[in-house]
Chains A and B, each alone.
Chain A
Amino acid sequence: MLKFIGLGSITTAIAPAVLLQACKEAAAVVDTYKFTALSAGQAASVKAIQDMIIPRTDTPSASDVGSVEFLDTYVTHAYKPEDKARMLHQLDRFAVKLKEEHGVEVANATEEHLVAMMDKYFANYTAPKEKEVEMEIEGNKIDNPTDSSEDKVDYKDDTTEINMLLSGIRWITLESYFSSEKVATEVLNYLPVPGPYIGQMPIADLPNGMNWSL
C-alpha cells in the first residue's frame, strides 16, 4: 500500500491529534501527486482498466491502493522511451476505441461499457490472421495522427495494441495491489517474523482462508 493512502494500519494507541495530522499530510500527498508519464486522460484509462481487473468489493480496488500512481512512477523510471511511447499510444487508442464503439468518454464509461471492452480486447481476444493485421495497419496509417510523431515505434493494429496494453497492465496491477501495505497487512495474512517453520499446516489454521502476503 502506498503510504499516503494506507492509514488503516494506524492503531488507536496513536493520539488523535497525531492521527489528524497524519490524515492531513496523507491527503496533501494524494492531492499533490504529480503524474510524470500519464496525462489526465491516460490516467483515467489506467484507472478504468485496473479497477476492472481488481474492482472494489468489501476490500479495496486497485486504484484505491494507488495502482495508477504506481504505474505512472514505474513507467517514468523503468520504461525505455520506446516502451513508454507505446503504452501512451495504447492508452490513447483505448480511449478512442471506447468512444468509437460505445460513444462514451472514459470518465463517463459504465461498467457495461468497460466489460465489453475487456471481453473484446482481453478475455475473448484471439490473435488475428496476418492478412487482417496488414489491412488494419494500412488503415491506421491514414487515420491515426499520432503515428507520425512516434515513427520509431512499429505499432500494430489497434486491436493487437489494446490487447497488449490490457495484458501488460494485468501484472503491474496485481503487483502493485498485492504489494501494497493495505492489502498485504490488512486483507491478506501478514507474518513478517514467522518464527518456527511448519511445513504442513492445516489450511483451516490460516485466518480467514486468506493467503500469506509475504
Chain B
Amino acid sequence: MTLFDENSPRKYDAIVIGSGISGGWAAKELCEGGLKTLVLERGKHVEHGDYPTANIDPWDLNDDSPGIFKIGEGHVRVTGDQGFNEEEQETYKVQRRTGWSASRTTARHYCNDKEHPYLEAPGARFDWIRGYQTGGRSLIWGRQSYRWAPIDFEMNKRQGIAIDWPIRYKDLEPYYAKVEEYIGVSGRTEGKNDRLPDGVFGPPMDYTKPEEVLKDKLQTEYSDGRFMTIGRTAHLTGETRPGRQLCQNRNRCERGCPFGGYFSSNSSTLPAADRTGNMILRPGSIVKTIVRDETTGLATGVVVIDKDTKEEMEFSAKVIFLNASTAASAAILMQSGDWANESDQLGRNIMDHHYQLGARARVEGFEGLVEKGRRANGYYIPQFRNRGGSSDVKGFIRGYGLQGGASRSNWMRGVGEMAYGKSFKEEMMKPGGWHIGQTAFGEVLPHPENKMTISGEMDQWGLPKLMFHTKLRENEIEMRKDMLQQSAEMYERAGFKDVETYENKDYAIGLGIHEMGTARMGHDPKTSVLDRWNRVHAAKNIYVTDGSAMTSSGTVNPSLTYMAMTVRAAEHALKAIGEGAI
C-alpha cells in the first residue's frame, strides 16, 4: 500500500480517520470516486499477508506470540490464561476479557492496554476491545453479516424509545447488496425477509447433523415463526475476488488470513483504494482534533499527533470521514470543541449486544459422522421474540438472536476423566461424542446515562483518557432470563441430553465488541448528532459512518450495516463535491 512519506502532500480532497471495516470502505469509495484521499490509522501498519502467526502449528516456533515458550531449539505451547505470564496478562488485561480474544496467536491484532489506558466510573465497567493497526478490527471481527430487518428501524418510533431513526430499510437495501456482493457473504436464502432479509450470497456452508436436527425441530415444535439458518459469514465460498482466494476452513481467521478467505480492509477495500492511485495511508497517526471554520460551518482539516515522535501536524481536506470506531470517533468530536454537541447526545446512548449466556447439551447418536475442515461459522436463529402476533412476550421489549454450533469433542474431554493408561490413551485419539452449544445476543436499549466522557487525566500523547459510565439496565436483565430459558427449552425439545444453561454474570457493556451509539443519527439537531446522511448536523462535510451513528442496536452483528451506511454516505459526499456543495 502507498504509505505517507515526507514528500506526501498536506492537502487532500478527503481524509478518512480510521482504516477498519467502515474506514476501509470509505477509502475505497472515495478513491474510486476520484478523490485524493489520506487515510489515517492510529496503530501500526499491517500489510495484507503480513501475518506471522497465520500458519504456525501448536509446536512451531514463534517468539512474537505471548504464551509460547522456548525449550532449547524447540518450542512448546501453552493455552489460555496460564499461557500468559503476569506481564503479558497485564498488557492485554481488557483485551482478554472475552475469554477468547487476544490469544497467544492473535494478541498482535489487539491493542496494548498498558499503552492505551481508559477509565471506568465508580461502579461501572466497560470492556473496550480494540485493534490498533491498519485494518483495525476488520482483521479480528466475527464476520457474521446480517441485514437489519425493516422493523428494526421502526421500533424506536413505535415504542417511544430514544428517537426515531431518520432512515429506513429501503434506504440501505441497495447498499447492503453492493457490500455483500463485494465482500462475499456465504449464506442461505430463506425467504423470510420480515425477520431476516436475504442478501446476495455465495454458497452456504454445511450444517452438521445435530444442527439439522435442531433446525427441523424448530419448525415442528414452535409456531412463533422461529427458524434457523446457517451463519451468514463474510467468507468466500463461491467465486474468488481480486487478491482473495476461497476460504480454506482453517479457522485461524483472527491471526490474519493469507488466503484472504474472509473479508478485511487489509485484504480487500484498502488494496482497492490503493489501486486507484488516489490513496495515501498514514499509520501511527492519532487524530487530536477536527478543525472547523466557524464562518462556513465546515471542517477544514484535522490535527494529527504522530504516535512515535509525538509531533503535531495538520492536514486539510474538503470532506472528512470519521471512522475511528464508536468511542474514538465521539472522543475526536468532543476534543474538537462543542460544535458537534448541541444535542448533548454526543458520547451518550452507548449500546452493545449483551451475550455470553445460553445453553449446551450432549447429542446422542450420529457417531458415524464427522466433520472435515474447521468451519469458522455456526448456525443462526434470528430474533423470534416481539416480532408481532404470537411472538410477542411480556416482561421485556425487543429481543435476541442465537448463534451456535455442534461438533464432536476431542482429547480435551479426557481432562475431566478419572481414567489413565492404555485404553484411556487410545480412546482419546478417537473422535468423542457430539456436543452442541448456543449463545444469545440481545438488543441493548439506548440510555442517555450509558455514556462516555473525557476525563482530566491525560495519556502519553496529551489527550484526555476516556471515562465510561455504562451498565446493563432493567430491560436487558429481564431479557437475559428468557434467553437462558428459551435456549435450554429448544435443546430439550430437540431431544438433546444433559441440557444445561450457562451465563457469564460478569458480562459488561462492550464485551460483545459491538459498542455503538455515541453520535446517533436523527432528524433533529437538538436530539441527535448526525443527520440522515451521517453528516454532523453542525458540519455538513463530516460524515461519521461507524458504530457511533447507530440510533438503536438491533440484534444482528452490526458491521454489515456500518459498511452499507458508509457506501451510502460516500456516494452522497461524492455527489456533494461534484455539485460544489462542499
Contacts and interface: CB of A to CB of B under 8 A. Distances in A.
Given A3-B73, A187-B429, A195 B420 contact: no
B76 A210 contact: no
A52 B421 contact: yes
Given A197-B205, A198-B371, A201-B372, A55 B415 contact: no
B77 A179 contact: yes
Interface stretch (A38-46, A69-77, A147-155): A69-77
A174 B411 contact: yes
B418 A203 contact: no
B411 A211 contact: yes
B430 A211 contact: yes
B418 A206 contact: no
Given A29-B72, A170-B415, A197 B429 contact: no
Interface in B57-100: 57-59, 61, 69-79, 82-86
B538 to A, nearest CB: 50
Given A33-B72, A69-B71, A202 B372 contact: no
Nearest to B432: A211
A118 interface: yes
B143 to A, nearest CB: 15
B412 interface: yes
Nearest to B372: A198
A194 B250 contact: yes
Given A179-B59, A187-B429, A192-B250, 17 more contacts: A2-B75, A4-B73, A25-B73, A33-B71, A52-B421, A53-B421, A57-B426, A59-B429, A73-B71, A80-B86, A170-B414, A197-B249, A198-B206, A200-B371, A202-B370, A203-B368, A214-B374
A24 to B, nearest CB: 12
Contacts of A212: 370, 410, 431
29 contacts: A4-B74, A57-B426, A73-B70, A77-B85, A123-B420, A175-B78, A177-B411, A178-B410, A179-B58, A179-B77, A181-B57, A187-B429, A188-B429, A192-B55, A192-B57, A192-B250, A196-B249, A196-B373, A197-B205, A197-B249, A198-B206, A199-B206, A199-B211, A200-B209, A200-B369, A203-B368, A211-B429, A211-B431, A212-B431
A125 B429 CA distance: 26
Contacts of B59: 1-3, 6, 179-181, 184
Interface in A14-60: 25-26, 29-30, 32-33, 52-55, 57, 59
B424 interface: yes
A90 B443 CA distance: 49
Contacts of B418: 122-123, 125
B363 to A, nearest CB: 13
A211 B410 contact: yes
Nearest to B207: A199
Contacts of A57: 422, 425-426
A17 to B, nearest CB: 19
